[in-house]
Structures are given as structure tokens and as C-alpha cells.
Amino acid sequence: MKTKRIAVLMGGPSSERDVSLKTGEGVFNALVGLGYTVQAIDWSPEGTSLPALLEAANVEVVWNALHGTYGEDGAVQGLLQCMGIACTGSGVLASALAMDKVASKRVFESHGIATPTWQIYDPKEAIRIPFPIVIKPANEGSSVGVSVVRNADQVEPALALAMQQGGTVLIEEYIEGHEVFVGVLGEDALGTIEVRTSKGFYDYEAKYLRDDTEYLIPAELPEALCEELSALALGAHHALGCASYSRVDIRVRENGEAFVLEVNTLPGMTGQSLMPKVAKYAGVDYPALCEQILLAAG
């Protein structure tokens, strides 16, 4: 890889553009510090087309730091495959499945992986799931457009927020308890990280805008349960066909019952992001994490 022309692709047209730029900046600086020949490409929705940007840069390998629509849903992965450019992270199908929360749930259920009870929102049908519930877009990341709804008065505002993102809206059972995330790197689960927020769930504000979010590494749960959560995360990662790395989001009831919410194939790599935190605890510092992801590019 030291002889390859590498580009860190960031920005993009999704609602997570700002987060992507922060991820890209961190990855770019780490790879430069390790001696790689690397350039940063900011894919601006108002600027030059992505294929033209890549061709002008004569890129051989892309470290994909995009988040959200196009970058995370298999579209860019397919484009790079057609252009013969190696890319970090999961491939087309796994990326598409993981980004689509409805498709993910169907895959989880087919593999016997517990996931909260759910339904697709249809204005002609009643909500069948008792409160509290979660209302969210089926194809967004970084908790954009997500609401925890505890009574009927909160339903309409939550639906309006989710619908702003376009596409399918998902309604699912809210699992009271612990919010736990597992980092997966290669074929190994790096460990668990539990997040506690003043808002009750890890939304966009808690992720990027607040300074009172608590991070517990490992999760404040029995060791045996943490090992079960790591195995559950690996199962979800493999069920979707993911490669290289991911972050698996899990809710755990006080009685130890665990439910997979989703798998993030391009988890954030900012200073506040969970993947670097759990990797560091496992003995993999930020530059080494970026490098391992790069070396697995295909």
C-alpha cells in the first residue's frame, strides 16, 4: 500500500456530510503520519462529479470516509468496483443491506438474531407496537431523524421528523435498558462500549453536540454477558456479509436480553466516535486502526 495512490473520500451529499468531513480529516492525518501517499477528496454535491474527481486524482485505492446516502448504501462501492478502484469497508450488497434497516431486520430474523419488534409505517394502518416506541427513517445514519416516543401525543411530530429524510419510516419497540455498541475489526470483536446520555438514547445531539455523554469501556455488565454481546455482534456482522470492520448497535434489558438494532458498515472515526474508543481499549490506536482498515481494502 505504501506504493499506491490513496484517496480519503469524504463529504458527500448526505445529511451526515459534516460528520464525514471530520472522519475524513482524522483518517487523512493518520495515514499521512504513517507515511502513505494520500490525498483528501471532498465530494461536494454542488461540485465536480465523483467519477471525474477520482479520475483526475488517478486514484488506486479509496479509504471511504463517507457516511449516509450514496457513501454507505452500496452506491459508491458499486461505482468504485466498476472503475477498478479498491475500496475500504464492506462491498455493495452488505453495504446496501446494512443501510436499509428494514432489510437488515429481515436478515437478522432469518438468522435467528434477536431484533426489536417492528413495522413499516403506513398511514392506513394503526401502530401495533405498544409504547414506548422508536420512530426513525429506514435509510439514515448518525441517528438523524430518530425519536423515542412514549405517548400518542408525540407520534405525529416524530413521524414528521422522520419523513423529512424521505423514504420508508420504521417503527420499532423501544428496549429499555443498556445501550451497548460492539466494534468489529477483521474477524474479531474488539469489545463492548456502553453509552449513557441525559436524553436516554444516543441521538445525533448526544453523539456530536453534547459534552455530558458517558462512555463505559467495557460495558458495565457481567463479563459473560459482554462476551455474549460480542458473539452476537459478530453474528450480525457476518449475517449481512460485512467485511473489514463495522460497529454493531445493541440494546440490552436489565435481565440480559439483547437485541441488535443495526450494523454500521462505515462507523464514525471522529474524536468522539465509538469505534476508535473501543479499538484503543483493545490496544489498537487510531493510526493503527486506520491502517488495518486500509490494508483490508478490496
Q: What is the pTM of this model?
A: 0.93
Which of 156-160, 203-207, 226-230, 234-238 is predicted with the least confidence, judged by mean pLDDT?
A: 203-207
Say if residue 252 is in the same domain as residue 109. yes
Residue in 246, 293, 266 with CA at minimum distance from that of residue 68 = 266
Identify whether the C-beta of residue 149 lies closer than 8 Å to the C-beta of residue 155: yes
Return the percentage of the chain with pLDDT > 70, whole number: 95
CATH number at residue 212: 3.30.470.20
- Beta-strand pair 61-64/86-87: parallel
Of 131, 152, 173, the one marking the end of a domain is 173
Say if residue 258 is in the same domain as residue 194. yes
Whether 230 is in a domain gets the answer: yes
pLDDT in tens, 100-151: 999 999 999 999 999 999 999 999 999 999 999 999 999 876 577 899 999 9
Say if residue 207 is in the same domain as residue 104. yes
Q: Residue 264: give the domain boundaries.
A: 97-113+176-284
Say if residue 135 is in the same domain as residue 205. no
Say if residue 148 is in the same domain as residue 196. no
Say if residue 185 is in the same domain as residue 157. no
Say if residue 68 is in the same domain as residue 103. no
- The confidence score (pLDDT) of residue 202 equals 62
pLDDT in tens, 157-201: 999 999 988 889 999 999 999 999 999 999 999 999 999 987 666
DSSP 8-state class, residue 120: E
CATH number at residue 126: 3.30.1490.20
Per the structure, the count of domains in the chain is 3
Indicate whether 208 pLDDT > 60. Answer: no
Say if residue 55 is in the same domain as residue 136. no
Q: How far apart are CA 7 and CA 40, in angstroms?
A: 6
Joined together, the cell numbers standing for residue 102 give 428494514
Indicate whether 213 pLDDT > 90. Answer: no
Q: How far apart are CA 49 and CA 9, in angstroms?
A: 13
Q: How far apart are CA 298 and CA 288, in angstroms?
A: 18
Active site residues: 16, 142, 208, 247, 249, 262, 264, 268
